[in-house]
Amino acid sequence: MASKMAGDLDEQSLTCPLCMLHFRDPRVLPCLHTFCRECLQEWAAKQQPLECPTCRTQVSLPDQGVDGLRANVYVNNLLDFAAVKKGAGPGHDVVPEEVLKAEKDVSKFQRKRYCHKHKNQELVFYCESCNALVCTACTVVDHRPGHDHNPVEVSSIVDNKKDKLEHLLGQVDPRLKDMQDALKEFDKEMMKLDNSRIVSVNQASSYFQLLSDLLQKREREVLSQIDVTYRGIGKTLESQKGEVELGVARLASARTFCRQAVGHGNEMHLLEVGEHAQRRVEGLLLERVNLKPEQEKVQFSEKVSVVEFKKDVERLGMVSSTVNVDALKCRVVTKTPVVGLECASVLETVDEEGQAIAVGCETVTACLTGPTGNRAVPTQLRAKNEGRLWEILYTPEFTGKHMLEVKVKDRDVAGSPFDVFVRSRESAVITIGSEGNEEGQLKKPIDVAIDGDGNVVVLEQVNRRVQVFHAGQGHMLKRFPIDSEGLFGTDTDSSGNLLIRDIGKGQLQDPWFIAADQSRGLIFVTDNRAHKVVVFDLDGNLKFSFGKRGTNQGELNGPTGVTLDRAGNVIVANKADGRVQVFGPDGTYLRTTLKSDCLRHPRGVAVLQNGRMVVADSKQKSCLLLQPDGSLIRDIGKGKLQYPRFLAADESRDLFFVTDSPAHRVLVFDLEGKLKFSFGEQGRNEGELSWPTGITVDPAGNIVVVNRDGGRLQVFGSDGTYLRTVATVKGGFPQGIELTPDGHIAVACSYGHCIKFYRY
């Protein structure tokens, strides 16, 4: 035992980590770290709650404070042993080294423990009930053997305690080895992290240096082109200037000669040279010399603006990490693909807490197999949202069930592999609703619009309510009653939810059109029979209404069309008296833009980006272009339209499109009122129309039209040239159509009681 104690004896084991001196009355914290009693008292006075100075573990002191902590007996013994080994002083004995190293008689070098209550009594018993060392006197008074106390001699239980500790030590060593191995792995990973940083910095520096070199090269090219252009224009101007200078010299010389002849020559001399001088001057005057310099200058244009380039620059390079990505919590949204068209499933990468995290493309793998299972469909990954979202792009060649396997860090994401059912181009990708009056069922939807998120809001004709659907999954999100008998038209809310005008009854008597205030989340509905506009929030709560029957300012007479301008003002068209009135966002009357002599049966209203409006008047058989203040600019289409109703605008070309159902054609006007062209004739062949209804324009300027009869959904070029038929809408009376942000066309089928989505 003494040799073991001698082996443990070193300055570190005798030194307090706080004061860096030999321990004075060492006390043990619950975390098993030892400090001087006085040091702990000073440390505890500075910190609340108390933390171990070594491992920062929070410590709860006993009621007695630091004094209640256990003394470290082993450290006290080491201190005593060190004192003996150091040599004898006054009151000490000299002990041979052989005795110090002996295994026996060690107890003489260990400090005896005395009872704090009975000062002269050694601690020779252990109360198992109280887990405390006690003296003989304590076993008679405070720890008398019985129900509450069980004092036993220290020597009788110390071996059992020792065995338990040795057993625990046997568990500590493997655990300690695992943790030490883990530390080595941490060191390796930190080294890898350092290396990855160096590599990434070098790659980023090289990448941006290449971009910088390209910019500098382009700068040199442009500057060189400026110099070449400058020299070319300068050479032309110098040549022109030289011709003028030569002409000036010739004329000046001829003028001098003629002046001398007239002023100083005699008659004979004048007759001799006069004819020649005359011919010379006349010839010089007739010479064609360009006296007007070329109005050319060197001009530089950006071609790509700094603002546009800045947006591109912000997308250059991406920094990602794979440390915390959790494959089992990553989410994949699959969409129904169509044969021959590129489709995208979307992967969202998240960490262990479900928070979005950016990863590199090398972390994600995707494999799509066809119906036979032995042929892979090529896939491509495209990063979005700085690598937090990944589009998995593919173009299937066959219909039927495909399998999409998605992995992150070589682990399957939740739900992988996914069943992907590829449809033909003629099939609707998604159908929302079926005939009925239950939640999620529809009755006579007649128009459709799409918001930025693609959610669908349906205003039903017979069920007299609005329902909001999730466009991707088709389930109903919420609903509220409208109760009316005649809604027509569509709009979108602030979240991009789709509004479908329908016919119903309830809070409204005869709703016709809907408009949405995106900034305030309000829906405005015209009630034709009640002669008012009713305003709801997106949860269906009635917020306010305005208007009453009449022909005075602020009164309504059969309101139909409604829309909003950029300021949030509400523009209402009256069917009965043809007026168009403007109300403030709160329904306060502002002005009348058109009176009854201008409009007779206003239907659709479209507000252009600059605030101007186009109003379709089906009874007057024309469209009216209005200023933002409502003043009439011009009447368009008079004598050319039979029943205008559905409108679409292409503001990039200052054109708007009108479907004329009974004429079976689409007419295209510019904002000057000129008929630019029209297309369509009655029939069901390619390029022919049969009662066209809904119309919209895609970002490329192509025109999409649906036919009420036959249900053909057709695409025409920007000049009206037939391009293709997307699908044939079956099941009933297609009317309003709208393009979704993800490349679908939503069609409201009034008699089919549903909304159908087709890949565009």
- Residue 369 lies inside a defined structural domain of this protein: yes
What would the mean pLDDT of 57-63 be, rounded to a whole number? Answer: 86
What would the mean pLDDT of 413-438 be, rounded to a whole number? Answer: 77
Q: Which residues of 469-481 are buried (b: 16+ CB within 10 A; e: fewer)?
A: bebbeeebeebbb
- Pair 206, 267 in one domain: yes
| Number of neighbouring beta carbons within 10 Å of residue 58 | 11
Q: Which has the minimum average pLDDT: 221-230, 383-392, 698-707?
A: 383-392
Residue 459 has pLDDT above 70, yes or no: no
Q: Is 346 helix (H, G, I), strand (E, B) or coil?
A: strand
pLDDT of residue 495: 44
- Pair 37, 87 in one domain: yes
- Pair 214, 267 in one domain: yes
* Most trustworthy range by pLDDT among 524-528, 605-609, 658-662: 658-662
pLDDT of residue 131: 86
- Pair 8, 107 in one domain: yes
pLDDT of residue 509: 64
- Pair 273, 351 in one domain: no
Q: Which has the minimum average pLDDT: 503-507, 629-633, 639-643, 685-689?
A: 503-507
Comparing CA positions, the residue from 232, 245, 244 lying closest to residue 297 is 232
- Pair 267, 351 in one domain: no
Task: Report the DSSP pairing between strands 665-670 and 655-660.
Answer: antiparallel
DSSP conformational letter for 351? B
pLDDT of residue 485: 41
Q: Is 458 helix (H, G, I), strand (E, B) or coil?
A: strand
Q: Both tokens of residue 392?
A: 């998995």
pLDDT of residue 156: 86
* Most trustworthy range by pLDDT among 511-525, 526-540, 644-658, 725-739: 644-658
What would the mean pLDDT of 430-443 be, rounded to a whole number? Answer: 66
Q: Which has the minimum average pLDDT: 364-368, 410-414, 424-428, 671-675?
A: 424-428
> What's 695's domain CATH number?
2.40.10.500
Q: Residue 217 — pLDDT band, cuts 50, 70, 90?
A: very high
Give the integer Cα–Cα distance in Å for 631 and 613: 10
- Residue 704 lies inside a defined structural domain of this protein: yes
pLDDT of residue 499: 43
Residue 263: in which H helix or E strand, if any?
helix 154-264
Residue 451 has pLDDT above 60, yes or no: no
- Residue 127 lies inside a defined structural domain of this protein: no
Do 517 and 568 form a contact (C-beta atoms < 8 A)?
yes
Q: Both tokens of residue 41?
A: 């008292």
Q: Residue 98 — pLDDT band, cuts 50, 70, 90?
A: low
Q: Is 401 helix (H, G, I), strand (E, B) or coil?
A: strand
pLDDT of residue 85: 66
CA distances from 118 to 64, 111, 141, 741 (A): 19, 17, 11, 88
204 or 105: which carries more pLDDT confidence? 204
Residue 236 has pLDDT above 80, yes or no: yes
pLDDT of residue 444: 64
Q: Residue 389 — pLDDT band, cuts 50, 70, 90?
A: confident
Residue 579 has pLDDT above 50, yes or no: yes
pLDDT tens-place string over residues 5-36: 555 566 777 889 888 888 989 999 988 899 99
Burial of 381 (0-12, 13-18, 19+ CB in 10 A): middle
What would the mean pLDDT of 688-715 be, rounded to a whole number? Answer: 89
Task: Report the DSSP pairing between strands 331-333 and 151-153.
Answer: unpaired
pLDDT tens-place string over residues 654-678: 889 999 989 999 999 988 889 999 9
List beta partners, residue 321: none
- Pair 30, 101 in one domain: yes
407 or 356: which carries more pLDDT confidence? 407
109 or 247: which carries more pLDDT confidence? 247
pLDDT of residue 500: 40
Q: How many percent of the chain have pLDDT more than 70?
A: 79
Give the integer Cα–Cα distance in Å for 511 and 483: 8
Comparing CA positions, the residue from 424, 409, 411, 404 lying closest to residue 344 is 404
- Pair 351, 281 in one domain: no
539 or 84: which carries more pLDDT confidence? 84
* Average pLDDT along the chain: 79
Comparing CA positions, the residue from 434, 491, 486, 505 lying closest to residue 457 is 491
Residue 87's region, left for phi above 0, alpha for psi from -120 to 50, else beta, is left
Using N-to-C axis directions, what is the helix angle for 267-286 and 154-264, rounded to 10°? 150
Burial of 602 (0-12, 13-18, 19+ CB in 10 A): buried
Q: Beta-strand (E) ranges in 423-517?
A: 430-432, 456-459, 465-469, 476-481, 490-492, 498-500, 511-517
Give the integer Cα–Cα distance in Å for 370 and 598: 61
Comparing CA positions, the residue from 613, 622, 669 lying closest to residue 641 is 622
* Most trustworthy range by pLDDT among 83-87, 575-579, 695-699: 695-699
Residue 232: in which H helix or E strand, if any?
helix 154-264
pLDDT tens-place string over residues 471-507: 666 666 655 555 444 444 444 444 444 444 333 334 5
Comparing CA positions, the residue from 541, 588, 583, 539 lying closest to residue 565 is 583
Q: Which residues of 286-317 are buried (b: 16+ CB within 10 A; e: fewer)?
A: eeeeeeeeeeeeeeeeeeeeeeeeeeeeeeee
Residue 436 has pLDDT above 80, yes or no: no
- Pair 343, 412 in one domain: yes
- Residue 571 lies inside a defined structural domain of this protein: no
Domain around 79: 2-111
- Residue 195 lies inside a defined structural domain of this protein: yes
Q: Residue 399 — pLDDT band, cuts 50, 70, 90?
A: confident
Give the integer Cα–Cα distance in Å for 327 and 365: 12
What is the identity of the amino acid at 435? E
Q: How many percent of the chain have pLDDT more than 90?
A: 10
541 or 400: which carries more pLDDT confidence? 400
- Residue 340 lies inside a defined structural domain of this protein: yes
pLDDT of residue 632: 79
pLDDT tens-place string over residues 41-59: 988 888 878 888 888 888 8
pLDDT of residue 97: 57
688 or 98: which carries more pLDDT confidence? 688
What would the mean pLDDT of 102-115 be, rounded to a whole number? Answer: 62
Q: Both tokens of residue 542?
A: 């009635």
pLDDT of residue 494: 43
List beta partners, residue 22: 15
- Domain end position, chosen among 422, 455, 474: 422
pLDDT of residue 108: 56
Give the integer Cα–Cα distance in Å for 739 and 498: 11
List beta partners, residue 468: 457, 478
Q: Is 359 helix (H, G, I), strand (E, B) or coil?
A: coil
Give the integer Cα–Cα distance in Å for 454 and 62: 63
Q: Residue 220 — pLDDT band, cuts 50, 70, 90?
A: very high
- Residue 455 lies inside a defined structural domain of this protein: no
Do 435 and 441 form a contact (C-beta atoms < 8 A)?
yes
Burial of 159 (0-12, 13-18, 19+ CB in 10 A): exposed
- Domain end position, chosen among 77, 111, 145: 111
Residue 373 has pLDDT above 90, yes or no: no
pLDDT of residue 497: 43
Residue 680 has pLDDT above 60, yes or no: yes
Q: Which has the minimum average pLDDT: 16-20, 176-180, 239-243, 476-480?
A: 476-480
List beta partners, residue 749: 734, 754
pLDDT of residue 412: 87
522 or 555: which carries more pLDDT confidence? 555
Comparing CA positions, the residue from 105, 136, 103 lying closest to residue 120 is 136
Residue 129's region, left for phi above 0, alpha for psi from -120 to 50, else beta, is alpha
Q: Which residue has the tokens 């052989």?
A: 98
Residue 711 has pLDDT above 70, yes or no: yes
- Pair 264, 356 in one domain: no
Comparing CA positions, the residue from 496, 519, 509, 508 lying closest to residue 448 is 496
List beta partners, residue 614: 606, 625
Residue 333 has pLDDT above 70, yes or no: yes
What would the mean pLDDT of 434-444 be, rounded to a whole number? Answer: 66
pLDDT of residue 679: 94
DSSP string, 616-650: EETTTTEEEEE-TT--EEEEE-TTT-SSEEEEEEE
- Residue 573 lies inside a defined structural domain of this protein: no
Give the integer Cα–Cα distance in Å for 456 and 495: 10
> What's 397's domain CATH number?
2.60.40.10
- Pair 720, 644 in one domain: yes
Q: Residue 103 — pLDDT band, cuts 50, 70, 90?
A: very low
What would the mean pLDDT of 271-294 be, rounded to a whole number? Answer: 78
Give the integer Cα–Cα distance in Å for 256 and 650: 69
Q: Which residues of 262-278 are buried (b: 16+ CB within 10 A; e: fewer)?
A: eeeeeeeeeeebeeebe
Strand order in the sheet with 692-697: 692-697, 703-707, 712-716, 722-728
CA 91 to chain centre: 82
Task: Report the DSSP pairing between strands 522-527 and 532-537.
Answer: antiparallel
Comparing CA positions, the residue from 432, 586, 564 lying closest to residue 492 is 564
The total number of structural domains in the chain stands at: 4
- Domain end position, chosen among 82, 111, 140: 111
Let me know the angle formed at the C-alpha of 437 by 431 and 438, rounded to the nearest 5 degrees: 80
Residue 322 has pLDDT above 60, yes or no: no
What would the mean pLDDT of 123-141 be, rounded to a whole number? Answer: 89
Comparing CA positions, the residue from 636, 640, 617 lying closest to residue 625 is 636
Q: What are phi and psi of 544, to 5 degrees?
A: -170, 175
% helix, strand, coil for the chain, step of 5: 25, 30, 40
- Pair 19, 77 in one domain: yes
